[in-house]
Amino acid sequence: MILIDLKDSRPIYEQVVDKFKMLILKGAIAPDEKLPSVRNLAVDLSINPNTIQRAYAELERQGYIYTVKGKGNFAADRDKLIDGYKEEILKQLREICQLAISVGMTEKEIINNIKGGGAYD
Amino acid sequence: MILIDLKDSRPIYEQVVDKFKMLILKGAIAPDEKLPSVRNLAVDLSINPNTIQRAYAELERQGYIYTVKGKGNFAADRDKLIDGYKEEILKQLREICQLAISVGMTEKEIINNIKGGGAYD
Amino acid sequence: MILIDLKDSRPIYEQVVDKFKMLILKGAIAPDEKLPSVRNLAVDLSINPNTIQRAYAELERQGYIYTVKGKGNFAADRDKLIDGYKEEILKQLREICQLAISVGMTEKEIINNIKGGGAYD
Amino acid sequence: MILIDLKDSRPIYEQVVDKFKMLILKGAIAPDEKLPSVRNLAVDLSINPNTIQRAYAELERQGYIYTVKGKGNFAADRDKLIDGYKEEILKQLREICQLAISVGMTEKEIINNIKGGGAYD
DNA sequence: GTGGTCTAGACCACA
DNA sequence: GTGGTCTAGACCACA
């Protein structure tokens, strides 16, 4: 379900966070579905349980999961997450477009690149 | 010319690097124009000279400036930099569009957002 | 494992970089094998940790090692490194041969020297 | 006669030294021919006279030129220089070959590369 | 324990 | 004056 790349420069906990975000956003983990327990996942990935703990805490802080003490961690409501996520993506998109404009690219160039540039692989 | 945000989580040297990249790409620092000396900038920003030194070394490694020992640091040729930079921007643009698609946004939505979204401020 | 020559005009961090490059290329440090920690090596060589840190950062930038935060530094894949390295060696070889030709040495002289000159110690 | 590349990372005096070495070795400056005066060359290259002075001192130290006080600097005997230079080149050649061998290249590979690899452009 | 960043301050090479 | 290297020592993030 999840693979960690030790050669990735990002810290391990961050990789775990991002993987779960994607799984939840894409619906691979359904709303209210239980995530693996901290201990089990730690064993599966050969990772320190503290690291998983930290990743789950971060996911909860960002609203992607909720914790029920004594029961485990569960995926949050996908629809609400996606709304927030779309906003985030659009913000980043606008920032990059501003950069593109500032080095002299035209609106047309940018849009053509989006359309033809393998953006839908 | 440059402002450092101590509350920013990114390291100081990285902020300095990014600020100068922008100034050079936008032409605010002309090709072959001298950058502030390591010591002067360190005083101006109330930052340790070592940190500025590191930022300048990184800028040189990435080709944004060149160093003449005993003389100072100078902005590289803008046109060459921009070519490489455009490629980088387009790559990031494609990545973000893939993300957008993966959460169910349509090509039309994305393009409309670029057009109307204040991308041309 | 590593010896630093303080009389060498090259900076210490560069000597450390070159030594580790050789150890990794020759297989003396196996792929994914852990390098000494920054602090341990600093103590062993009686060198400031910052200097080791810089050497390791450079090795990572050049692809010879990868860093896992909180765990340590590990040797990269030897085979991939050697491919790039061979190219580098051949380039240097050609440069030197050009020099040799330019002061009047013949192809035969050069090759004889390679063969007999202790190149295979 | 001589061009300085400010974007070259080597110090200016070293570039001057190398340029004159080549000119003398190739015979472009004949034995006992006078080199430009420190002041003239400094003006021609828009360089600090101290830097030229240092380059000439280094050339004298290495035996490429000799100084006659009140008269100027003159190229040394080419034949003697070339002998020493050949030795130097051969030494470097052997070192590189050892490197090549140590990463698994064969004698044949090396020689083929010298022959065919554009070494005589 | 391990690496990453930063300050303070020194000394050297180069122009 | 200018950049480059290094030491000493601190504090933080990560595992």
- pTM comes to 0.88
Residues 13-52 of D with CB under 8 A from C: 25-26
pLDDT at B116: 58
A23 CA: distance to closest CA in chain C (Å): 24
Structure-model confidence comparison of residues C63 and D103, the more confident one: C63
Residue by residue, DSSP assigns C83-118 as HHHHHHHHHHHHHHHHHHHHTT--HHHHHHHHHHTT
Helix-helix angle C49-61:C12-25, to 10 degrees: 50
- Domains of chain C with bracketed CATH: 12-76 (1.10.10.10), 84-116 (no CATH)
What average pLDDT score do residues C16-23 get? Answer: 96
Mutate which: A85, A93, A95, A108, vs B, most B CBs within 10 A: A93
What DSSP designation does D34 have? B
Q: Which helix (H) or strand (E) holds A66?
A: strand A65-68
Taking all residues of chain A, what is their mean pLDDT, rounded to a whole number? 90
pLDDT at C48 over 60: yes
Cβ(B4)–Cβ(B16) under 8 Å?
A: yes
CA dist A42 → A52, A57, C32, D51 (Å): 6, 15, 21, 62
Alpha-carbon span B6 to A22, nearest angstrom: 31
Is residue A65 classed as helix, strand or coil in its secondary structure?
strand
Taking all residues of chain D, what is their mean pLDDT, rounded to a whole number? 90
pLDDT at A2: 84
pLDDT at B74: 98
B44 CA: distance to closest CA in chain D (Å): 27
Among the listed ranges A109-118, B47-56, D105-114, which one has the minimum average pLDDT value? A109-118
